[in-house]
Structure 1
Amino acid sequence: MRRAKISIIGAGNVGATCAHWCAAAELGDIVLLDIPQTETMPAGKALDLMQASPIMGYDANVTGTTDYADTADSDVIVVTAGIPRKPGMSRDDLLATNAKIITSVGSEIKKTSPNAVVIVVSNPLDAMVQQMWKVTGFDKSKVCGQAGVLDTARYRTFLAMELGVSIEDISALLMGGHGDTMVPIPSCTSVGGIPVTQLIDAGRLEEIVDRTRKGGAEIVSLLKTGSAYYAPSAACAQMVEAIVKDKKRLIPVAALCESEYGVGGYYVGVPVIMGKEGVEKIIELKLTDTETSAFENSVNAVKTLVASMNELLSA
């Protein structure tokens, strides 16, 4: 049986670590691509990963390249390409530069892997995945963004730390844009089946939510010379696994909502069923009035971001 072909565009920290997670889990054969200016760097990282396989006991071919021809006919493509955040820089500061990069990458993907499921990781996420969908012209199910899995993981981590319980017992959901307007859904957050609101008071819970919203910036400020990559790449690998194994995972991702939630044609974080076809179904929840208001505010922020991107690209 043919192995899945997984191409990762961008061989920086997020891309290379995603390749590591995917190889270690034997999700398929991996192509790690970066721009020609990086010369042999992707090949070096790929070879290093291959040499780790006899030690760690995984069987996956990893190839490093600067040529999109090597990514041809990929089943899944993870796009991490773009400039990373630096201390004091917001995701939105990356808008103009990364929108042009995504446009270039999307054009290459359209030519070389027209049947792939594309997972966008580049920031600002919601605008970048919108641009990827526009450039490729792929079905909306085939283009999605990784944000909800990461944001929810951060939220679950902070809740487990607060309560002193195993992260395995934390079930949570965040929706909306990837950034300061992300929306926690308390009605879908529990600890061992117990609603989180019975274990943490409203004020403290809001502090944890606020830390989650700023989770990426907190790591940027600690690292000083880069941004988070272990958790973002692990989140990507979980999405890749859901696709190549057709797992039908119910996870939050940035998906194109049209009639759903009344969004009207924008990518925003929502719970979906993810399988071999990509985003196979968007799950519509009955939100409380407070949750609905917060979600609408987050969607409006995404719309403003996309409008700014389109203005910059047309200038």
Structure 2
Amino acid sequence: MRKKVSIVGAGNVGATAAHWIAAKELADVVLIDVVEGIPQGKALDLLEAMPIEKRDVHVVGANDYAATAHSDIVVITAGIPRKPGMSRDDLLHTNYKIMSDVVSKVVAQSPEAILIIVSNPLDAMAQAAFKQSGFNRERVIGMAGILDSARFRTFIAEELNVSVENVTAFVLGGHGDTMVPLPRYSTVAGIPITELIPKDRLDAIVQRTRDGGAEIVKHLKTGSAYYAPSAAAVEMVEAILKDKKKIVPCAVYLQGEYGIDGYFIGVPVKLGAAGLEQIIEIKLTAEEEAGLKKSAEAVKELCAVIGV
């Protein structure tokens, strides 16, 4: 019996995640959305691509959460983007209501599922999902670090004119301006990038990584990134479904690790069949530690606004 992944939110991120999952033949996919016709149409279109792609995957779209029953993984992308004139707190409260509603419906249908949270503001929404679901921390994981690291890797590969396959990079902390890219732990074919890229260029790349999402929004004018965010979520899906024991940066609920207790923050973790299987603690310099603490404070502020 094939695995089942449900994706809540049939917008650009959700629909593209469904596309990646089907193209990799990872699982059957259910696309859920509140708008009638959108998930059904996109799912049918994707299903009709499967004979061409030679992939035996079933894709279905629905508005009713009953279709998600017995999912192995549920990817949650639902939420609204910030609109002109909307305060950060307004956005937070709106997306918190959406997340609470989605999670209660998902949990009712799939009490054994692993939740991957993609909705923004990421760390606070992961915290909300964790509290609403009642799941243990191993089964609620936020997608951010893989995306931020992929951006970092892209810019490093471009700078050095090398294959992206040679580049390993780490980004810790919250998903946003306070993220903490770690050049010291980032390498090209095992060589630290600090040996290969001058400090001024490296500083510029780190800043571009922090501004990665904003740079894309600026180009698009309306809407935001979706190819890389959806690919990042699917890397997590694949690591869990295939029990890969893959070490990637994800937002997880810390209980004293890195000196942070009771909040979701991006750190290196091992992903496998149980979801979060291990949090990897790496030694940080005083400067890196200060950056991570600052990032955690920003997450705490957001969580305080919605009372999670």
Q: Please give the TM-score of this superposition, normalised by the length of structure 2.
A: 0.97
Q: Which residue of 281, 289, 293 corresponds with 1:284? A: 281
Q: Show the 5 A alignment for 1:182-261.
A: 182-261=179-258
Shift of 1:94: 2.8
Q: Distance in 2 between matches of 1:87 and 1:204?
A: 34
2:7 partner letter: I
Shift of 1:84: 2.5
Shift of 1:234: 0.3
Give SS of 1:281's match: strand
Q: Distance in 1 between matches of 2:87 and 2:165?
A: 31
Q: Which residue of 91, 95, 103 corresponds with 1:94? A: 91
CA contact (8 A) 1:86 1:220 kept: no
Q: Show the 5 A alignment for 1:1-315.
A: 2-35=1-34, 38-85=35-82, 94-310=91-307
Question: Cα gap change, 1:244/1:18 in structure 2, threshold over 3 Å: closer, same or farther?
Answer: same
Residues 157-206 of structure 1, C-alpha deviations (whole Å, 9 max, x = no match)? 01111111111111110000000000011221011111101111222211
2:170 partner letter: L
Shift of 1:221: 1.0
Shift of 1:55: 1.0
Residues 134-168 of structure 1, C-alpha deviations (whole Å, 9 max, x = no match)? 00000110001000000000000011111111111
Q: Which runs of 5+ in 2 are unaligned?
A: none
Q: Distance in 2 between matches of 1:129 and 1:76?
A: 15
Q: Distance in 2 between matches of 1:71 and 1:300?
A: 35
Question: Cα gap change, 1:252/1:203 in structure 2, threshold over 3 Å: closer, same or farther?
Answer: same
Shift of 1:91: 7.2
Q: Which runs of 5+ in 1 are unaligned?
A: none
Q: Distance in 2 between matches of 1:163 and 1:92?
A: 41
Question: Cα gap change, 1:91/1:285 in structure 2, threshold over 3 Å: closer, same or farther?
Answer: farther
Runs of 4 or more, structure 1, over 3 Å off, are: 85-93
1:51 partner letter: E
Q: Report how many residues are paired.
A: 308
Give SS of 2:116's match: strand
CA contact (8 A) 1:6 1:74 kept: yes
Q: Distance in 1 between matches of 2:206 and 2:83?
A: 23
Shift of 1:11: 0.3
Identity %: 58
Q: Distance in 1 between matches of 2:16 and 2:245?
A: 24
Q: Distance in 2 between matches of 1:88 and 1:283?
A: 41
Shift of 1:89: 7.9
Q: Please give the TM-score of this superposition, normalised by the length of structure 1.
A: 0.95
Q: Distance in 2 between matches of 1:306 and 1:246?
A: 31
Q: Distance in 2 between matches of 1:119 and 1:293?
A: 28
Question: Cα gap change, 1:252/1:89 in structure 2, threshold over 3 Å: closer, same or farther?
Answer: farther
Shift of 1:288: 1.2
Residues 186-244 of structure 1, C-alpha deviations (whole Å, 9 max, x = no match)? 22101111110111122221111111111111111111111100000000110000111
Select between 99-108 and 200-209 the one with higher mean Cα deviation: 200-209
1:181 partner letter: T
1:151 partner letter: D
